[in-house]
Amino acid sequence: MIAELHKILQSLNLDQKETAVLILLLEEGKLRVRDIAKFAKINRTTAYGILKTLMNRGLVSQTKEKGVLMFQSIEPAHLINYVERLESNLSETKKEIKSILPQLSRLRRQKSVFPRIQFFEGIEGIKQAYEDTLINNEEKTLRDFTGTDAIFREMPHEWVEYYLQKRARSGIKCLDIAPDTEWSRKSQTRDKELLRETKLIPEQFAFDTEIDVYDNKTAIMSFSEKEPIAVIIEDNNIAKTMKKLFEYVYESITPPLIPPPQGEGKTGTRSDK
């Protein structure tokens, strides 16, 4: 149960130490700073910093008992209210960002100092790069070289499902080239549902990356176990070249031949009627 609570709290943008201190207070009730530092195995200075952060978020409060400063967490039942406040704040922030997006886009086009290559590190960074393929995709088409096995090996399956469903809901069609593996074939059975057309290449050409080409961008995701990264290159000429390369390969792939039923198609024989 504690491990599950750790996971839930960290999903609220608490780091590992903040999560540990909050769980400690949820379990123990009121504690002095020195006791928090002892049980959490951190020094007092770090403990004070963490407590200040948690108080600013409304997750911890302080009181005095017999002149001694004590800290306590909010009631467990109030965590629901905290999540609801976060959702409300995020909703407002989303509206504000949407309202200024046109100005930001114009500013970026005017300023040549902005980088045309973006780097993203870690699984969370790769997720952000994937989101760009949906947010900045005016032509509503993705051309993908997909290392299916690597994706399902390294990316959280529930997030992959979230992304696929969001892409389909957004009306973005996907043309996909993937190695002929078990994962790819399973994925291919959902093509109609996910607004996708998949063509398979021999398994011997399997790869552990994904290349997405959309609008004037080329996104490359590398699913290295140690250092997963993503790169987005924003350049018209590169995107045009990659689109032509993709289309050449895509059109060159022929569907697998379906063998005739047993007893048919053999020289010198015919089926009885």
CATH number of the domain bearing residue 238: 3.30.870.10
Q: Which has the closest alpha carbon to 120: 103, 108, 133?
A: 133
- Give residue 195's pLDDT: 97
Look at residue 111 in the predicted model and tell me its pLDDT: 53
Final residue of a structural domain among 19, 51, 77: 77
123 and 242 fall within a common domain: yes
Residue 23 sits in a domain whose CATH number is 1.10.10.10
Residue-level pLDDT at 105: 67
Mean pLDDT within 143-154: 94
Q: How far apart are the first and last CA of the chain?
A: 67
- Considering the domain architecture, whether residues 68 and 117 belong to the same structural domain is answered as no
Q: Are residues 72 and 121 in the same domain?
A: no
Please tell me whether residues 65 and 194 are part of one structural domain: no
pLDDT tens figures, 39-98? 989 999 999 999 999 998 888 888 888 888 999 888 877 778 778 877 887 888 888 888
Same domain, yes or no: 159 and 229: yes
Q: Confirm whether pTM is higher than 0.85.
A: no
Rounded Cα distance between 158 and 105, Å, is: 31
> How many domains in the chain?
2
- Least confident range from 52-56, 94-98, 103-107, 245-249: namely 103-107
Q: In this structure, is residue 104 part of a structural domain?
A: no
- In tens, the pLDDT along 178-220 reads 999 999 999 999 999 999 999 999 999 999 999 999 999 999 9
| Domain of residue 67, residue span | 2-77
From the list 181, 220, 224, the residue with the least C-alpha distance to 200 is 181
